């Protein structure tokens, strides 16, 4: 449900200005001035707001400012996963490709693995971070999966190629990602044993549990059935996987992205909106994640692993600690937004609406500070946005540029705390709705996770935290909410 930002506008404005300022500062910092930031310069004034929730941050080579953000905010992280490696099925075995792109990446992760002292007053210590690069199965077809699933020799081969890299590079473990990790339990047992024998961590990436036919997802019947089937496979694999994984990284983002269909161009042309709506052939864009969905995932994952707990307690009283250490759920938190090309339809009649220029209320002008934009077309209150094409991820930097350029009214979604705005490119192009994460949406997710962890004495599972995808698309402000 969308709530116009009538209250709290100054607050909203400040969030945005902060984000923009941070981006500008970030851009200035990454100028190639040749000076390497000293390792002891992290700021010690931003303590963790949720110290009991472990934080994993992904860092990709294609948004490499993430490296600096992690280092500047290292007290906010426990685990850092550079996205560097792919595993390929090659002839009779497996081959790992990739690695730190340059010498400075190598030096970067080695610095993270050392404790650091703040130069700020007080000289707080930052503990060593655990560097656990992601290894992803790449280009695998069904045959490659089948060969691995049923062949113990291959479990060992896969484990060997990964462990060789981990040992050679001195990593603290790995994040293992496959299209369907839940289909590879035996292989993961072998990998886990090899890693644990060397005191290394195994983090397994899991698909989230999706709810077919949610508010933003009017799905056809067979799509819903496929989602159900995937959910069931994931949950069935969990008891076994939870014995071998130190953490699960659960991809609770792209909630509204995949699945569903956009309204067809034919319907747009024929104004057949209500017809399309009746057959669920339309989709409204929605937020990237929300706390309710995250909570549902966490509880479902906890409950799915509970039988293990029960049987272990029965047979090995006192093994609780070992188990607790082996089951931590890191819920995915997106640090990027989404933009969707949309058309607007009247909520009641289903007719398409063309936004027309109006004079925005004073408060909006205050927010945008843009007298020049008074004639901006305004989306009528009774309009419902319909996707006319697939959405695309968008970084915080790109969002800040759009906000600066179009100075849109920005709305808040309750209860997610995510924000959105609409803009039309200056060439009268396709209207676009942008969803973006904020400190508020992140805090809401973190609080939700904390509540489950604190409530869950019944399960006394190993705990939960967050996995951030990905730090390079973020801002200092988003990271400050950790
Ligand atoms: C298992 O994999 C190995 C290595 O690729 C291969 O030599 C062997 O024939 C496979 N075994 C079976 C039963 O397919």
Q: What is the H or E stretch that residue 229 is in?
A: helix 221-244
Does the beta carbon of 143 lie inside 6 Å of ligand 1?
Answer: no
**Backbone conformation region of residue 346, classed left if phi is above 0, alpha if psi is from -120 to 50, else beta:** beta
Confidence of residue 7 (pLDDT cuts 50, 70, 90): very low
CA of 145 to the centre of ligand 1 (A): 13
Task: Identify the pLDDT of residue 367.
Answer: 40
Nearest residue by C-alpha to atom 12 in ligand 1: 151
Weakest mean pLDDT among 127-131, 222-226, 326-330: 222-226
Residue 255, classed as helix, strand or coil, is: coil
Does the beta carbon of 153 lie inside 6 Å of ligand 1?
Answer: yes
CA of 94 to the centre of ligand 1 (A): 12
Q: Residues 6 or more apart from 455 whose CB is under 8 A from it?
A: none
Q: Has residue 418 got a pLDDT over 70?
A: yes
CA of 153 to the centre of ligand 1 (A): 6
Nearest Cα to Cα of residue 262 among 350, 391, 389, 352: 389
Does the beta carbon of 356 lie inside 6 Å of ligand 1?
Answer: no
β-strand partners of 98: 85
Of the residues 144, 149, 153, which should be mutated to test ligand 1's pocket, given the most ligand atoms within 8 Å of the CB? 153
Q: Has residue 43 got a pLDDT over 70?
A: no
**For the segment 105-124, what is each residue's pLDDT rounded down to a tens digit?**
999 999 999 998 765 555 67
Task: Please report the atom of ligand 1 found closest to the CA of residue 154.
Answer: 2
User: With pLDDT > 90 as the criterion, what percentage of the chain qualifies?
Assistant: 39
**For the segment 310-323, what is each residue's pLDDT rounded down to a tens digit?**
455 444 444 444 44
Q: Tell me the C-alpha distance between 214 and 178, whole Å.
A: 26
Task: Identify the pLDDT of residue 159.
Answer: 98
Q: Has residue 258 got a pLDDT over 50?
A: no
Does the beta carbon of 222 lie inside 6 Å of ligand 1?
Answer: no
Q: What is the mean pLDDT of the chain?
A: 78
Q: Tell me the C-alpha distance between 230 and 179, whole Å.
A: 12
83-96 average pLDDT score: 95
Task: Identify the pLDDT of residue 132.
Answer: 98
234-259 average pLDDT score: 83
Task: Please report the atom of ligand 1 found closest to the CA of residue 157.
Answer: 4
Task: Please report the atom of ligand 1 found closest to the CA of residue 151.
Answer: 1
Joined together, the tokens standing for residue 476 give 């200092």
**For the segment 339-391, what is each residue's pLDDT rounded down to a tens digit?**
998 888 887 777 778 776 554 444 443 344 344 455 567 777 778 888 887 78
Task: Identify the pLDDT of residue 161.
Answer: 98
Check residues 168 and 311 and name the one with the higher pLDDT: 168
Residue 204, classed as helix, strand or coil, is: strand
Check residues 145 and 281 and name the one with the higher pLDDT: 145
**pTM to 2 decimals?**
0.81
Confidence of residue 271 (pLDDT cuts 50, 70, 90): low
Upstream peptide bond of 470 is cis (omega within 30 degrees of 0): yes
200-214 average pLDDT score: 84
Does the beta carbon of 151 lie inside 6 Å of ligand 1?
Answer: yes
Q: Tell me the C-alpha distance between 477 and 36, whole Å.
A: 23
* Dihedral over alpha carbons 43, 46, 50, 54 (to 10 degrees): -10
Task: Identify the pLDDT of residue 440.
Answer: 87
Confidence of residue 248 (pLDDT cuts 50, 70, 90): very high
Nearest residue by C-alpha to atom 13 in ligand 1: 151
> Strand pairing of 247-250 and 201-206?
parallel
CA of 303 to the centre of ligand 1 (A): 37
């Amino acid at each position: 449900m969308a709530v116009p930002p009538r209250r709290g506008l100054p607050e909203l404005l400040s969030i945005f200005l902060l984000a923009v300022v941070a981006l500008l500062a970030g851009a200035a910092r990454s100028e190639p001035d040749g000076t390497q930031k000293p390792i002891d310069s992290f700021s010690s004034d931003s303590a963790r707001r949720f110290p009991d929730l472990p934080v994993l941050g992904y860092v990709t080579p294609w948004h490499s400012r993430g490296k600096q953000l992690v280092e500047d905010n290292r007290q906010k992280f426990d685990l850092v996963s550079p996205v560097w490696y792919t595993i390929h099925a090659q002839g009779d075995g497996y081959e790992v490709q990739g690695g730190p792109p340059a010498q400075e990446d190598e030096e970067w992760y080695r610095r993270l693995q050392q404790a650091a002292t703040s130069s700020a007053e007080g000289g707080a210590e930052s503990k060593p971070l655990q560097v656990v690069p992601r290894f992803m199965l790449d280009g695998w077809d069904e045959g490659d999966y089948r060969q691995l699933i049923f062949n113990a020799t291959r479990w060992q081969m896969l484990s060997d190629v990964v462990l060789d890299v981990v040992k050679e590079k001195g990593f603290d473990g790995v994040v293992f990602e496959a299209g369907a990790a839940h289909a590879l339990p035996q292989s993961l047992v072998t990998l886990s044993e090899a890693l644990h024998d060397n005191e290394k961590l195994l983090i397994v990436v899991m698909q989230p549990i999706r709810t077919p036919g949610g508010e933003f997802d009017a799905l056809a019947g067979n799509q819903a059935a496929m989602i159900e089937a995937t959910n069931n496979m994931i949950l069935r694999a969990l008891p076994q996987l939870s014995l071998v994984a130190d953490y699960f990284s659960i991809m609770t983002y792209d909630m509204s992205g995949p699945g569903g269909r956009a309204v067809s161009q034919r319907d747009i042309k024929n104004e057949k909106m209500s017809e399309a709506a009746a057959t669920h052939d339309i989709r409204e864009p929605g937020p990237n994640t929300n706390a309710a969905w995250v909570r549902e995932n966490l509880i479902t994952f906890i409950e799915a692993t509970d039988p293990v707990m029960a049987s272990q307690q029965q047979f090995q009283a006192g093994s609780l600690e070992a188990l607790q250490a082996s089951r931590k759920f890191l819920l995915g938190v997106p640090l990027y937004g989404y933009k969707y090309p949309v058309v607007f339809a009247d909520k009641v009649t289903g007719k398409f609406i063309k936004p027309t220029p109006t004079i925005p209320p004073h408060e909006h002008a205050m927010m945008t500070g843009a007298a020049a934009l008074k004639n901006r077309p305004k989306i009528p209150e009774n309009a419902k946005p319909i996707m006319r094409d697939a959405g695309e991820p968008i970084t915080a930097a790109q969002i800040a540029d759009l906000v600066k350029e179009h100075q849109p009214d920005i709305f808040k979604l309750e209860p997610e705390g995510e924000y959105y705005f609409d803009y039309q490119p200056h060439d009268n192009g396709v209207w676009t709705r942008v969803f973006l994460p904020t400190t508020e949406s992140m805090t809401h997710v973190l609080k939700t996770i904390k509540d489950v962890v604190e409530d869950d004495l019944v399960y006394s599972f190993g705990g939960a935290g967050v996995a951030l995808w990905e730090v390079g698309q973020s801002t200092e402000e988003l990271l400050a909410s950790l």
